[in-house]
Chain A
Amino acid sequence: MIQIEGLSKLYGRDVFALEDVSMHVEKGDFVFLTGPSGAGKSTLLRVLLCQDPPTSGTVTVAGRDITRLTPREVQAYRRTIGFVFQDFKLIPRKTVFENVMFALRILGVPDVQQRRRTFQVLKWVGLQHRANAYPLELSGGEQQRVSIARALVNEPALVLADEPTGNLDPDLALDIMNLFREINSTGTTVLVATHDRELIRHVGRRAVTLDHGRVAIG
């Protein structure tokens, strides 16, 4: 599903956020991307989201080199994956329902199907009763679940999550991880960036460790 070869990202003249990173993630895998703060985890995910272009190297997702996409192709690519942001990135003036449904609206899914699928996903993350609430009315854990719902509503083959439990307490963090496990059990490839070793140990999946922009343990 994901093939990264010799990926480097240079900021300024001599700051390598990523240096010669190579890794593979097979279809249906659940992989943690871990390492201390500043290791390059978020940078790698930003490259995978085409938010930051790499300085060198190739990144192939589902057989497609995402480093050579046009702006229009980048938007189309983003619609095929699900991304869970550390800071949730929910639109404050839209309700929970509208935030999740937005991911289907931009795909041009018919209105009726949009509503049905959105309700299904909100039920799955346990927030169907909060559909009409606004993000600011939700707790951190609820906001993160909305973010996850939005990432899943278009049934992507790949879900990327950048520190999805970074702002949550341990119990909530475990709940969120269980959600990701459930997602993965349906065949979706999951790549989660986290510095929380306890969480990785608890979930018990493959972990790729980055250190100072390099792969320490693959």
Chain B
Amino acid sequence: MLFAGLKYFVTEAVMGLWRGRRSTVLSTLTIAAALFVLGVFLTVAANLDALVERWSAAAELSVYLQDDVSLADRAEVQRALRNHRLVREVQFVTREQALGRFRRDFPDLAPAVADAAAHPFPASFEARLAGEAPGGDGLEALAGRLRKMRGVTDVRYDRLWLQRLQAIASLVGWAVALLGAVLALAAALTVSNVVRLALFVRRDEVEIMELVGAPLSFIKGPFVVEGILQGALGSVIALLALFIATAAVRGRLASAAPGLIDAGSISGLPAGMAVLVVAGGMAVGCLGALLAARRLA
């Protein structure tokens, strides 16, 4: 009986959407526009999070060595790093490995350093830090001590600006959540108005159904399904537009700044989030329809 009821609701809903197709198209496109904007922000946030994660996984403290550093001095630097409480892991990167990384990350610029013997990339120690460096003071002291050691040309650490980047990413996340709530409300009100219009146009029919004893759920059901379908359709259109837009942006970046920006690292909306967008669209459509149909209670 449940299946028969659902089949009736869906059939009636599809017929209702078709009959009022002009307003259906308008409301669906409105929902699509709102979800597209949300999708853009979600994609930016996802990419930002991925970037922060990648950079966090990379070296947080780099100690660059002179080309002619002695083995003893090199070992001294390594010991100083390994024994420090802030350092979790130490890795030595040879000059050749540094060159290989450059060629991998910037393939278009690789010909500029074709001569493997004369490249400018020094050997280095890359250290990953343990937990949050409190106030950065410990790092400053460590960096200062390392700079004074024989064989060391430079010390760089990215922790502070990485923390700033994480804070920005977190802020973007909050902005996305707020924007999402506002857009969801706008979409729900749009669907609500369309369903309200449909109820008004079909008020005689609704009255007849009430008078012959149709349960309220029976009367409301098709309208709620209409709202869900509009939300689903709107979110699918939004995702398609987002997919096209992401591909276009990747193409643009690849041609505008080849070799400098890895366009391939820009990802579209993660699959899990895409599913959430569709589910969210359907939920918003359902909510809008329930709001409009509550006067039937």
A106 is contacted by which of B19, B205, B207, B215 (Cβ under 8 Å)?
B215
State whether the Cβ of B71 lies closer than 8 Å to any Cβ in chain A. no
State whether the Cβ of B168 lies closer than 8 Å to any Cβ in chain A. no
A81 — nearest CB in chain B belongs to which residue?
A: B213
What range describes how many residues of B lie at the interface?
A: 10 to 19
Interface string of A106-121 (1 = CB under 8 A from B): 1010110000000000
- Give residues 201-245 of B contacting A (CB, 8 Å): 205, 207-216, 218
Q: Is the CB of B8 within 8 A of A79?
A: no
Complex Cα spacing A139 to B4, Å:
33
B212 is contacted by which of A71, A93, A102 (Cβ under 8 Å)?
A102
State whether the Cβ of A16 lies closer than 8 Å to any Cβ in chain B. no
Residues of A contacting B205 with CB < 8 Å? Answer: 91-93
State whether the Cβ of A78 lies closer than 8 Å to any Cβ in chain B. yes
Interface string of B1-13 (1 = CB under 8 A from A): 1001100100000
State whether the Cβ of A76 lies closer than 8 Å to any Cβ in chain B. yes
Q: Is the CB of B211 within 8 A of A79?
A: no
Q: Is the CB of B8 within 8 A of A103?
A: no
State whether the Cβ of A130 lies closer than 8 Å to any Cβ in chain B. no
State whether the Cβ of B118 lies closer than 8 Å to any Cβ in chain A. no
- Give residues 178-211 of B contacting A (CB, 8 Å): 205, 207-211
Interface string of A67-93 (1 = CB under 8 A from B): 000011001111110010100011111
Residues of B contacting A103 with CB < 8 Å? Answer: 212-213
Residues of B contacting A93 with CB < 8 Å? Answer: 19, 205
- Give residues 85-143 of A contacting B (CB, 8 Å): 85, 89-93, 102-103, 105-106, 108, 110-111
Complex Cα spacing A49 to B208, Å:
13
Which of B5, B208, B209, B212 gathers the greatest number of chain A CB atoms within 10 Å? B212
Q: Assuming A93-B205, A105-B8, A106-B218, is B1 touching A83 (CB within 8 A)?
A: no
Q: Is the CB of B297 within 8 A of A49?
A: no
Residue ranges of B at the interface with A (Cβ–Cβ < 8 Å)? 1, 4-5, 8, 19, 205, 207-216, 218, 297
Residue ranges of A at the interface with B (Cβ–Cβ < 8 Å)? 49, 51, 71-72, 75-80, 83, 85, 89-93, 102-103, 105-106, 108, 110-111, 150
